[in-house]
Structures are given as structure tokens and as C-alpha cells.
Homo-oligomer: A and B are copies of this chain.
């Protein structure tokens, strides 16, 4: 492959995606980035077009499945996945994506602070690397994709 496809999974409340993309652009790396929809409200409402639901469970269910059309397809299409865990929220979808990758044999890198090493040990155990900053991710991409 001459261009790598890298899927960015997880936290949507900080600009880590932009930092990685800007870093890759600055180095002119041949990478195409994909991602889930990161607009929180739009994501929660993804299934609303199919009809209103009175139950919160089913509204969430419909939206989550519409989102999964995108996320599971793009993850399977990616060469590498980066899974980001922030310091807030449950972020079970990020751990779910990591498990999905692990079962497919799809390589992924985790991106998280040192404070949450222990609860993430199973997720890190199947990862190819653990990074703490977007800059480290960009460096890994540069090395993996362009180093002779």
C-alpha cells in the first residue's frame, strides 16, 4: 500500500484527532484518516430519521446501529487503529473497538494517560503500542510508514 488508512477511535471531547492529522500533514505522510462521527448530538440522533422512539433504549439502539454501519466498515477497512481514552466518561465504545480489532487481528495503538494504565491493562495487552501524546502517535506513523 502506498497510502495507509488510520482509523481514530474514542474520545471526542479534546482535539487529539486534529493534532494527529496536523502532525501527519506537516510531515507530508501518506495517510488517510477515518473516524466515527464526532459530533456528539448528531451521533446520538443518527437513527432519528427512521422514526421517533418513546423509549430511550430503542432510540439509542437505532442510532448506535446506524453509527456501526460506518464504524465497523471503516475499522475493517483500516490498516491501523488508534484508540484514545480520555479522563472522563465511560468510553466503553472505545474499549469495544479495541476488542473488535483484537479479534480481527487488526493492529491498534492506545493513547491514554499514565493514570489509567491499570483499568486499561486488558486493552493495552492486545495493543501494538501505548502512547501518551498525539506527537508520539505521529512519530510512530512516520516511522512505520516512511522509514527505509
Interface string of A52-84 (1 = CB under 8 A from B): 001111101111111111111110010110000
Q: Is the CB of B148 within 8 A of A39?
A: yes
Q: Can you tell how many copies of this chain the complex includes?
A: 8
Q: Does A22 contact B (CB under 8 A)?
A: no
Q: How far is the CA of A49 from the CA of B119 in the complex (A)?
A: 21
In the complex, are the beta carbons of B50 and A129 less than 8 A apart? yes
Q: Is the beta-carbon distance between A1 and B77 smaller than 8 angstroms?
A: yes
Q: How many residues of A contact B (CB 8 A)?
A: 80
| Contacts A50-B140, A92-B122 known; 18 new A-B pairs at CB < 8 A | A1-B74, A47-B129, A50-B129, A50-B136, A57-B114, A57-B117, A61-B124, A65-B129, A66-B129, A70-B145, A72-B102, A90-B119, A90-B120, A92-B119, A95-B96, A96-B98, A96-B123, A103-B104
Tell me whether A29 is interfacial, beta carbon within 8 Å.
no
Residues in A lying within 8 Å of B, measured CB to CB: 1-2, 32, 37-39, 42, 46-47, 49-51, 54-58, 60-74, 77, 79-80, 85, 89-105, 107, 109, 114, 116-126, 128-132, 136, 139-140, 143-145, 147-148
**Chain B residues near A126 (CB-CB < 8 A):** 68, 96
